[in-house]
A and B are shown apart, each in its own frame.
Chain A
Amino acid sequence: MKLMWFHLMPYTDLPDDFREKNPSVWVDIHSSLFDPRRAHHMYNDFMDELEFAAECGFDAICVNEHHSNGYGLMPSPNLIASSLARRTTDTALCVLGNSLALYNPPTRVAEEFAMIDVISGGRLIAGFPVGSPMDTCYAYGQNPSMLRERYLEAHDLVVKAWTAPDTFAFNGRYNQQRYVNIWPRPVQRPHPPIWIPGGGSVETWQWCAEMDYVYCYLSYYGYKAGQATMTGFWDEMAKLGKDRNPYRAGFLQFVGVAETRRQAMELYAEPAEYFYGRCLHIDPRFAGPPGYATEETQRRGIKGMVSQAADASRDTARYETKFQTLAREMDAIVDKGYVIIGSPDEVVEQLTEVATNLNVGHLMMLLQFGNMNKELAKYNTRLFAEKVLPRLSHVHSQWEDHWWPQPMQRAERAAPASFQPGTMAAAE
């Protein structure tokens, strides 16, 4: 299986009383909480951590997009990914992703992703989320009633821009462009693998199956809460006649590994409580703009509530409840499976179970979370890479991953000059 290292880039200095004094970490979080000089160090630490993870041997490093968000400092993950393209060699670059409906024209996404793919020699995984309500409808003002259709149309435009050999006119419902002809074109043919991060909506599952894309469930609530969604996904795949190739799916999981479970509890309690206490303090008024959840999704949510069997994330009314009943203390965080902790043996055992029970071939790990500092993030990453990763990579080895980047051969690829300030000109 593939083990991928994911960074959210949380702002690490939210005050202790953040929850009490602020309505939301997202959308209207106050600018006075942001210190650009501290953030300078955060960005550089985070990029060091991503590069370190690549060096440690993770299959991919992952970044994503958020707006007006105190736990996600990447309005443009593409900026980070382009830098990572220069400072890593063989690791896949997973941008998960660009919220297509936010870009006008959406060919901007086709261009930037093509740039990353070309700079990296074909290592890009192109993620296309619809985007959260907070990012898309509130921070970016997109109309929730048109968001999904705009997204789907933008997807068609981007894929055509990557693949059509000739300049074409795009006559869409929401986008009209007379001359579409992006330059550069991606290295990967016909285009970089497309992955779709989504919630639990059945329409998204069906679309992924139809398009043969990877479906990623990026929940912060861990494998126990994710089981229902992934079971729903695989049931739908079976219904549609698709095989159970685990590489059709991706799943996000927080992990903290240490020499012993007790030590892991001590080390990771603070950053986990910081994340679940402060970073997920989201005002419910931004959770459910009308039209964001399709009527079919609402219908399933309502029926599910009646039968007490629904996954909470499918339904906007329960979305709110979820925000309010989240575990925020370490015992409950671990107990509910939000964060998997333990010795390397224990983590191997739990993640094997996760990969098997959820039938997931792409496991995206958050090994830095909350206000975890670089030292601890690197410790967690190194220990995982040395003691856990080698014992998991064989899982699902009977399946082939058809959705992984196909880079240029190593020998064909450029070797970026090593970065030693002040020495390059002298060496000429």
Chain B
Amino acid sequence: MTKPKTSPKTSPKTSTVEVNGFSSRVWTAGSGPKLGFLAGFGGLPKWVPFLDALAEKRTVVVPSLPGFPGGERGHTVLDSHLDWVLAVREILHKAGLDGADLAGSSVGAALAAEMAAIWPQSVRRLALVAPFGLFDEADPPTDPWAQRPPEVPALFCADPKNWEALKAPPEGHNDPEWPIEQVRASEAAARIFWPLGNTRLEKRLPLIEAPTLLIWGGEDKVMPRSYAERFAQAIKGRSEIRVIAGAGHLAELDKPDETAAAILGWMN
């Protein structure tokens, strides 16, 4: 077990964008060409070292998705997949990410892939960390919503302390809204991906023209590794698979420097 990576270097600038009457938090840090990031399962209740690593080379822009931390209760008005992709498209547009490089993790990666598929001009280069969106009966993903609470941290991170550090209330913080916000993040993911994680994304992967990097944690316990090949084969643009040793499903939490380096390398 390594020491949890909790102390960020940067203080991001925080702004908000309005979509469907709900506001979404947008973090911005660093300098250089813009790089968007859509967070994974559980969202980002806190700034994390992975974003520092991205901000060293690029202007990293991190909009919150509806219902995820920073995204208020925006998920509650999204009833269909069309509602979701339109909301995400509008958030990215308003966050100034049109035509920029885009990275996403887990549930956020599935939506990043949708953007590149449906609006090819809106994404320059794409990096996806273990995306949701597919389901193979012969090799199903783990059900993230049917877990005993003590087993959740080790499901999402190779080192459970990394998940715990992200989800623990900030020191001295005893607002009852904090745990509610974490449940809401899981609910928002459920609203779009329940029950199998299958949004029929497979049908739209052939529309993705952007060069796409597929990143997989070597110890991902949620998304089977075989899915990396399925993505790579179906995506129209050039693609490459990179496995990060020692990382779980949310590779950016377990191995922030390695994951950021892979993404930054791909975008250059």
List A residues at the B interface (Cβ < 8 Å). 137-138, 141, 143-146, 173-174, 283-286, 289-291, 295, 298-299, 302-303, 306, 316-317, 320
Contacts and interface: CB of A to CB of B under 8 A. Distances in A.
B180 A291 contact: no
B190 A291 contact: yes
Interface of B: 75-76, 79, 145-149, 176, 179-180, 183-184, 186-191, 194-195
B183 A174 contact: no
B148 A145 contact: no
B75 A299 contact: no
Given A144-B190, A145-B187, A290-B183, A173 B79 contact: yes
Contacts of B79: 146, 173-174
B187 A291 contact: yes
Contacts of B75: 145
Contacts of B180: 295, 298-299, 302
25 contacts: A137-B145, A137-B194, A137-B195, A138-B146, A143-B190, A143-B191, A143-B194, A143-B195, A144-B187, A144-B190, A145-B188, A145-B191, A145-B194, A283-B148, A286-B146, A290-B183, A290-B186, A290-B187, A295-B180, A295-B184, A298-B180, A298-B183, A303-B176, A316-B183, A317-B149
Do most interface residues of chain A lie in helix, strand or loop, or is the interface mixed?
Answer: helix
Contact of A285 (B146, B183, B189): B146
B195 A141 contact: yes
Nearest to A143: B194
A306 B180 CA distance: 15
Contacts of A317: 149
Contacts of B190: 143-145, 289-291
B148 A285 contact: yes
Contacts of A174: 79
Contacts of A290: 145, 183-184, 186-187, 189-190
A136 B96 CA distance: 41
Contacts of B191: 143, 145-146, 291
B44 to A, nearest CB: 17
Contacts of B148: 283-285, 320
Given A144-B194, A299-B180, 13 more contacts: A138-B146, A143-B194, A143-B195, A146-B79, A289-B145, A289-B190, A290-B183, A291-B183, A298-B183, A299-B176, A303-B176, A306-B176, A320-B149
Contacts of B145: 137, 144, 289-290
A290 B193 CA distance: 12
Given A143-B191, A143-B194, A295-B184, A302 B176 contact: yes
Nearest to B185: A290
Nearest to A173: B79
A380 B194 CA distance: 45
A223 B187 CA distance: 33
Query: Closest 10 CB pairs between A and B?
Result: A291-B187, A145-B191, A290-B186, A290-B187, A302-B176, A143-B194, A285-B146, A141-B195, A145-B187, A285-B148
Contacts of A302: 176, 179-180
A136 to B, nearest CB: 11
B141 to A, nearest CB: 15
Contacts of A295: 180, 183-184
A306 B175 CA distance: 12
Nearest to B175: A302
Contacts of B76: 145
A290 B185 CA distance: 9
Which interface residue of B145, B189, B191 has the most chain A CB atoms within 10 A?
B145
A151 to B, nearest CB: 15
A291 B76 CA distance: 10
B75, B148, B187, B191: which has the most chain A beta carbons within 10 Å? B187
Nearest to B176: A302
A173 B195 CA distance: 20
Report which residue of A138, A141, A286, A295 has the largest number of chain B beta carbons within 10 angstroms of its beta carbon.
A295
A100 to B, nearest CB: 18
A143 B192 CA distance: 9
A320 B187 CA distance: 18
B137 to A, nearest CB: 15
